[in-house]
Structure 1
């Protein structure tokens, strides 16, 4: 992989999407740590400065990933009889996923994640929040090194060159009210004290590679109230700024079960019982009542939306217009990795709203705003907040995470920059129009290709074949 230049670097773009909008003739400079130190607008490129091959965009943070599920993607697309009365659903999918997860090893996880992170970089993601709940060996027996699977993910991120927020998952029960865990959940389980010990062990390795360490209480059904309070207090004592992510209100059954347990809807219960603030990412939050949208937005928490996974699992549609009217922040995740493409997630998010509302350009921020530009800026800003990393766009103090579109691509050629972005999201093969990508100023994708593409792909295919044979 390319190494970071000792004295930083610089790049000129004829067009760049800054946090304030599109700008012409932009010179970016960054220091040896990869932080942007200067953004100059309206000047000719200095001699010898490289020029971006097309419009320059901020890199997209991926705020929700279960890396091992990439090897499982596409393998459940058939109808079969299920105990739920013949209805294939999230819950039947989950049973199959658990069966697959039972055979993951640290070595197979590293191979899967390395390929996945290469895919992410080639598809416009420059950082990832890894919601990591696979902790132990088969049958739930802890590894001799309790950090083994977490370190496999950190190594994969370092190898691929993607930014990382590692979110070890606290998982204790199979349903609301502290129901006993299922046998096929044994690899996920930790006591709260054991989780806090794991976080302390991981802190040095995480920070050594410039990653961020946070916590992911899996869901209200998987973490009883007292454990949730203790865990949040523990991660806050370790790092008062650490991100906290959890799944919530993804499925209607989850909402109904929460009401039966507590008399409240999930988001309502969470906001009434926990100190939710801007550190929190509410993953999915698909099924909220109007009052929950308003109250959740007021906390400053980020809604973590995963359009391709939510569609694949039949979750339902988040009410984006209502969330935006409340001033809510949001970002994108690829979750189960049925799709690994930042532009395609943007397209699916907008198209879902169009199908539901029978309107167009739903997520444009104002009259005459271009929807692809508005969505990109919002998703980058919310994703950076959820990641807890300085990756909020092309601005001084932020990391030089960026990508350049290919101005010569047939879907983009001859258009102005803003129309190129729209064509990239809505009228190309999505990944095909991405030319180059940098993470912290280091080139990771050149001419649409990561240097580890072939080797990582071969290792992934071999690993998947072995896992399928075992499962």
Structure 2
């Protein structure tokens, strides 16, 4: 017997942990978990959901404040524009941001991510200090801003405070544009340990990140890793740009991924963000370690970074997830589509990321993003099953594109059909955060976001 205070939900079609099922009734308990699940039954008094139900995906890489830049760096410079010229505009924005701005931008972004099919975001958070580089009176002020934003939006949050100490390989002194990011080891550990309680109170997962091998030394990684709990997720940018690879070789004689594996015990706690410029040997190295490759296809395309060797990585049994990074896009479908299309453009062939002959590309991509995102975010095995958190997305069954197909073709339509926004409703932890395309706090979040953008423009 299901308790009266459980939510009862009915889906004509649902992607469960063991595959697609029809006529499914879920009960969701007061803790926000799936308490029971029946297939092939009538809805009875359950709420009938308005389309196919799929699990929400974890977004494994976000710099929330960069959403304020979206579309504003598309003016050609005097030379060849690249990541490095884009970075100067990012530093300009960084110099202006207040904690209130960060809350407003992050909350708006998180609502957009929910509407894009994401249920959790891993925030790679390196904006720590005042504009002149001094710590705030509350050293965790900017990290607490991220917790407050997530409280407004309701999205699941994995907070990754970032250790950032240098401007280049070999411990080079930071630049003026980086002064809001910089810690020494003791200061960073004080920040990290001080966030344990606030994250626990907010229901957020706490991990950590090293910005890159350009920004940290091997000794600093070793000192910090001595204090890291064995279950904490650990993220790092690595091999994003060719210039980074060249500088790493010049400094140490080793490519960035090779160097990382020399100095750290990389295992399934780690997420290697981008890993764009890797050799076959490095592909095998990452796959063998069970680390996640954190792919951000729309950002990598926007910055001209390059194309990750996705089909080769899958052939090596590699694990990956997706993130939206600088947030020039905010949807699961767009990231997965650009990931697959990049492989097609490189190889001049179709259907590159399918699990096997005859498999749906959309389903293969989705399954990897779901599992890899959860691993990188440090949360339990994802999917819709009894005991799992009720993090689910209802696609819009009013769309004739979805109504005319079944099974994995639903995901192929959503990802590759180009048929517009198809996320109708989103439940996270048993709470409806998006219903018929609207978030309950959307008006206030939009007003605060508009105010922040107007101030930043002035």
TM-score range for the pair, normalised by the shorter chain length? over 0.9
CA 1:155–1:225: 2 relative to 1, 3 Å? same
Structure 1 equivalent of residue 382 of structure 2 = 392
Q: Distance in 1 between matches of 2:431 and 2:416?
A: 28
Question: Quick check: 2:321–2:369 contact (8 Å CA) kept in 1?
Answer: yes
Question: Quick check: 1:391–1:399 contact (8 Å CA) kept in 2?
Answer: no
Structure 2 equivalent of residue 288 of structure 1 = 278
Secondary structure of residue in 2 paired with 1:139: coil
| Deviation sequence 1:365-416 (CA, Å, 0-9, x none) | 1121111112111101100000011261112332111101111114323322
Structure 2 equivalent of residue 272 of structure 1 = 262
Question: Quick check: 2:8–2:45 contact (8 Å CA) kept in 1?
Answer: no
Question: Quick check: 2:384–2:390 contact (8 Å CA) kept in 1?
Answer: yes
- Residue number among 168, 174, 183 corresponding to 2:176 in the alignment: 183
The residue correspondences of 1:371-410 to structure 2 (distance < 5 A) are 371-390=361-380, 392-410=382-400
Q: Distance in 2 between matches of 1:19 and 1:258?
A: 42
Q: Distance in 2 between matches of 1:139 and 1:332?
A: 33
CA 1:148–1:118: 2 relative to 1, 3 Å? same
Question: Quick check: 1:282–1:302 contact (8 Å CA) kept in 2?
Answer: yes
Task: Give the Å deviation of 1:59.
Answer: 0.2
- Residue number among 68, 72, 97 corresponding to 1:71 in the alignment: 68
Question: Quick check: 1:390–1:397 contact (8 Å CA) kept in 2?
Answer: no
Structure 2 equivalent of residue 322 of structure 1 = 312
| Deviation sequence 1:86-142 (CA, Å, 0-9, x none) | 111100100110011111110110011111111111111110000000000011011
Task: Give the Å deviation of 1:346.
Answer: 1.0
Structure 2 equivalent of residue 439 of structure 1 = 428
Question: Quick check: 2:115–2:437 contact (8 Å CA) kept in 1?
Answer: yes
Question: Quick check: 1:37–1:396 contact (8 Å CA) kept in 2?
Answer: yes
Q: Distance in 1 between matches of 2:135 and 2:381?
A: 35
Q: Distance in 2 between matches of 1:374 and 1:429?
A: 20
The residue correspondences of 1:164-175 to structure 2 (distance < 5 A) are 164-175=157-168
Secondary structure of residue in 2 paired with 1:14: strand
Q: Distance in 2 between matches of 1:25 and 1:233?
A: 50
| Deviation sequence 1:150-195 (CA, Å, 0-9, x none) | 1111010011010000000000000001011111100000111111
The residue correspondences of 1:423-462 to structure 2 (distance < 5 A) are 423-430=413-420, 432-462=421-451
Structure 1 runs of 4+ with >3 Å offset: 5-8
Q: Distance in 2 between matches of 1:253 and 1:406?
A: 44
- Residue number among 40, 43, 58 corresponding to 1:42 in the alignment: 40
Q: Distance in 2 between matches of 1:366 and 1:463?
A: 47
| Deviation sequence 1:344-378 (CA, Å, 0-9, x none) | 11111111111111121211111211111121111
Q: CA RMSD in A?
A: 1.5
TM-score by length of 2: 0.97
Structure 1 equivalent of residue 10 of structure 2 = 12
Task: Give the Å deviation of 1:21.
Answer: 2.2
Task: Give the Å deviation of 1:343.
Answer: 0.8
Question: Quick check: 1:19–1:377 contact (8 Å CA) kept in 2?
Answer: no
Secondary structure of residue in 1 paired with 2:227: helix
Task: Give the Å deviation of 1:417.
Answer: 4.2
Q: Distance in 1 between matches of 2:399 and 2:123?
A: 32
CA 1:260–1:8: 2 relative to 1, 3 Å? farther
Structure 1 equivalent of residue 119 of structure 2 = 126
CA 1:75–1:154: 2 relative to 1, 3 Å? same
Secondary structure of residue in 1 paired with 2:235: strand
Q: Distance in 1 between matches of 2:367 and 2:239?
A: 26
- Residue number among 255, 260, 265 corresponding to 2:250 in the alignment: 260
TM-score by length of 1: 0.94
Segment of structure 1 superposing worse, 192-201 or 12-21: 12-21
Structure 2 equivalent of residue 224 of structure 1 = 217
Structure 2 equivalent of residue 159 of structure 1 = 152
Structure 1 equivalent of residue 187 of structure 2 = 194
2:232 is the alignment partner of 1:242: yes
- Residue number among 128, 132, 138 corresponding to 1:135 in the alignment: 128
Secondary structure of residue in 2 paired with 1:407: coil
